[in-house]
Chains A and B, each alone.
Chain A
Amino acid sequence: AQSVTQPDIHITVSEGASLELRCNYSYGATPYLFWYVQSPGQGLQLLLKYFSGDTLVQGIKGFEAEFKRSQSSFNLRKPSVHWSDAAEYFCAVGATGGYNKLIFGAGTRLAVHP
């Protein structure tokens, strides 16, 4: 069965520092992978996605993610974090079969110190 693991529940970084959020997935074939961001009391916004091709994908708000098949990982990165990046980040994999629902990780809460 497909699954997604986000090992870090909570991360704190200083504004201007670099960021990497980890995501590992379990899937038999080439997965559809997503990163979403959720601000408090809001829905989810798509940051970026990977379907195929170039393993380094660029997203909105200066985020990028790299798909590494050998490590079953899809880590999210940003070179310089802004205070407005404080939010909850969810990694997800698109399940096959049925209605192709998304399987979400538990989320990583990012705090940014000034």
Chain B
Amino acid sequence: GAVVSQHPSWVICKSGTSVKIECRSLDFQATTMFWYRQFPKQSLMLMATSNEGSKATYEQGVEKDKFLINHASLTLSTLTVTSAHPEDSSFYICSARDYQTASGSYHIQYFGAGTRLSVL
């Protein structure tokens, strides 16, 4: 159980185009999902917290208009990188929390396999 699917796993796009990444919880419902960015050989950097039915909460320094997040249902959150540029090339990872678990387990985040974005 607790499977998170992230799609696509790898995307190449031209500079100036937009790219959408999907994050789905397959066997549980997630009111909260998280989007991370990871640079090579570095830790995860939290970009934003995605909340079902409301606006995302962005971390300091993350451009809201560049990274659009939509959490329209209890099983799906999307991250759209708008007008992508080469500096946006990175590994993006999503995670989800099962809101129906007991209080302690609520802190567990289940991660997708990540999306490697290359902007030419």
Judge: A and B partners, yes or no.
yes
Point out residues on A near B: beta carbons under 8 Å.
32, 34, 36, 41-46, 49, 51-52, 90, 94, 98-102, 104-107, 109
A-B contact count (CB 8 A): 57
A100 touches B106 (CB 8 A): yes
Residues of A within 8 A of B111 (CB): 36, 43-45
Residue of B nearest to A36 (CB): B111
B113 touches A43 (CB 8 A): yes
Chain B contact patch, size range: 20 to 34
Q: Does B110 contact A (CB under 8 A)?
A: yes
Q: List 17 A-B contacts (CB under 8 A).
A: A32-B107, A34-B108, A36-B111, A41-B91, A43-B6, A43-B93, A43-B95, A45-B111, A46-B108, A49-B107, A51-B107, A98-B57, A101-B34, A104-B44, A106-B42, A107-B42, A107-B43
B104 touches A52 (CB 8 A): yes
B114 touches A41 (CB 8 A): yes
Cα–Cα distance between A34 and B104 once the two chains are bound (Å): 12
B112 touches A43 (CB 8 A): yes
Residues of B within 8 A of A107 (CB): 42-43
B110 touches A46 (CB 8 A): yes
